């Protein structure tokens, strides 16, 4: 049985090019949970909110329910559902899934295959991402479900493996009141924020913790520039702009150069700002060159 091929052939509802990523999102979430704990079961009532948030952020604009993929993914042979009565899903009714204690996990044969061939998880993840989402969302989606893609593709587990906290993004966005700490951008589609991300000041790969003293809410542009060392954090929580950055357009001047010396927006009262140790790490290890002098209004 070729699990990668089966992943590529998930049966999805289609009509006139309409997008239905419900099953791929649940499958990605399930693969992430397997990576973290191969024996874990996903009780519907426990993961419902996680799945609902993923559908709202990465699914189509029409309202939908996570009960649909939770039940229907079984038909693809990669997922199983059990209730207190035994094997089998009670259907797509939310109340029934909750009341019966319905729990799902990857099918037994797939779990066995992933144990025999750890890099299989990475190959399946790549297929799900490539066939259902644009490349610009791949990293963000893996972070949203808590999946370590590099580890999944190599099958290598660090002796001091750390688990990402899937709540990090929501905690950071809430602390900064859903606006970019550098420019104040706060775009939404309905109730769902768009173009806002949780940035680690000290990178996760270099022991940066998943906590508020290491997290900034940044728009997509400023997150990229922060990670590239164009932007940084200075004393007094003021924004640094690298002298190495060159931009002659009005957009570059207004959205980047003009930030030099501005105070960071947030976090809200009662939340501790970025820890000095994390700011220092970013300045010494990521920020490029010397900072520009503060701009004048």
Tell whether the model's pLDDT for residue 63 goes beyond 80.
no
Grade residue 74 by pLDDT with cuts at 50, 70 and 90: very high
Predicted local distance difference test score (pLDDT) of residue 237: 93
How far apart are alpha carbons 100 and 89 in whole angstroms? 9
Predicted local distance difference test score (pLDDT) of residue 15: 54
Q: Average pLDDT, stretch 99-104?
A: 94
Q: Average pLDDT, stretch 171-178?
A: 94
Percent of the chain clearing pLDDT 90 (strictly above): 61
Q: Average pLDDT, stretch 90-104?
A: 93
Among 117-121, 144-148, 156-160, 291-295, which stretch is predicted with the lowest mean pLDDT? Answer: 156-160
Considering only residues 146 and 74, tell me which one the structure prediction assigns the higher pLDDT: 74
CB 43 within 8 A of CB 99: no
**pLDDT tens for residues 11-43?**
766 555 556 788 999 999 999 999 988 888 999
Predicted local distance difference test score (pLDDT) of residue 159: 41
Tell whether the model's pLDDT for residue 55 goes beyond 80.
yes
Among 122-131, 145-154, 217-226, 256-265, which stretch is predicted with the lowest mean pLDDT? Answer: 145-154
Predicted local distance difference test score (pLDDT) of residue 19: 63
Q: What is the 3-state secondary structure (H, E, C) of the chain?
A: CCHHHHHHCCCCCCCCCCCCCHHHHHHHHHHHHHHHCCCCCEEHHHHHHHHHHHHHHHCCCCCCCCHHHHHHHHHHCCEEEEECCEECCCCCCHHHHHHCCCEEEECHHHHHHHHHCCCHHHHHHHHHHHHHCCHHHHHHHHHHHCCCHHHHHHCCCCCCCCCCCCCHHHHHHHHCCCCCCCCCCCCEECCEECCEEEEECCCHHHCCCCCHHHEEEEEHHHHHHHHCCCEEECHHHEEEEECCCCCCCHHHHHHCHHHCCCECCCCCCCCCCCCHHHHHHHHHHCCCCCECCCCCC
Q: Average pLDDT, stretch 108-118?
A: 94
Report field, pTM of the whole predicted structure over 0.75: no
Grade residue 149 by pLDDT with cuts at 50, 70 and 90: confident
Among 81-90, 122-131, 135-144, which stretch is predicted with the lowest mean pLDDT? Answer: 135-144
**pLDDT tens for residues 202-238?**
987 678 888 999 999 999 999 999 988 999 999 999 9
Predicted local distance difference test score (pLDDT) of residue 18: 58
Predicted local distance difference test score (pLDDT) of residue 59: 77
Tell whether the model's pLDDT for residue 158 goes beyond 50.
no
């Amino acid at each position: 049985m070729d699990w990668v091929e089966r992943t590529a052939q998930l049966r999805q509802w289609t009509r006139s090019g309409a997008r239905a990523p419900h099953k791929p999102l649940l499958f990605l979430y399930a693969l992430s949970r397997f990576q973290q704990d191969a024996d874990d079961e996903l009780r519907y009532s426990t993961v419902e909110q996680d799945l609902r948030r993923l559908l709202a952020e990465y699914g189509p604009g029409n309202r939908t329910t996570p009960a649909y993929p939770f039940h229907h993914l079984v038909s693809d042979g990669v997922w199983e559902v059990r209730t207190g009565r035994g094997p089998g899903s009670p259907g797509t009714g939310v109340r029934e899934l909750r009341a019966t204690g319905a729990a799902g996990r990857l099918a037994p044969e797939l779990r066995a295959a992933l144990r025999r061939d750890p890099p299989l998880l990475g190959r399946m993840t790549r297929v799900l991402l490539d066939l259902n989402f644009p490349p610009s969302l791949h990293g963000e989606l893996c972070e949203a479900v808590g999946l370590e893609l590099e580890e999944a593709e190599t099958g290598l587990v660090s002796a001091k493996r750390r688990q990402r906290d899937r709540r990090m993004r929501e905690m950071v966005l809430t602390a900064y009141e859903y606006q970019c700490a550098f420019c104040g951008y706060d775009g939404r589609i309905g109730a769902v924020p768009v173009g806002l991300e949780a940035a680690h000041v000290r990178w996760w790969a270099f022991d940066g913790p998943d906590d508020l003293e290491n997290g900034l809410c940044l728009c997509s542009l400023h997150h990229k520039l922060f990670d590239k060392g164009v932007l940084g954090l200075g004393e007094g929580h003021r924004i640094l702009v690298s002298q190495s950055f060159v931009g002659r357009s009005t957009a570059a001047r207004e959205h980047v150069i003009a930030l030099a010396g501005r105070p960071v927006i947030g976090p809200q009262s009662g939340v501790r700002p970025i820890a000095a140790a994390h700011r220092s790490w970013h300045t010494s290890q990521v920020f490029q060159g010397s900072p520009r002098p503060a701009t004048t209004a």
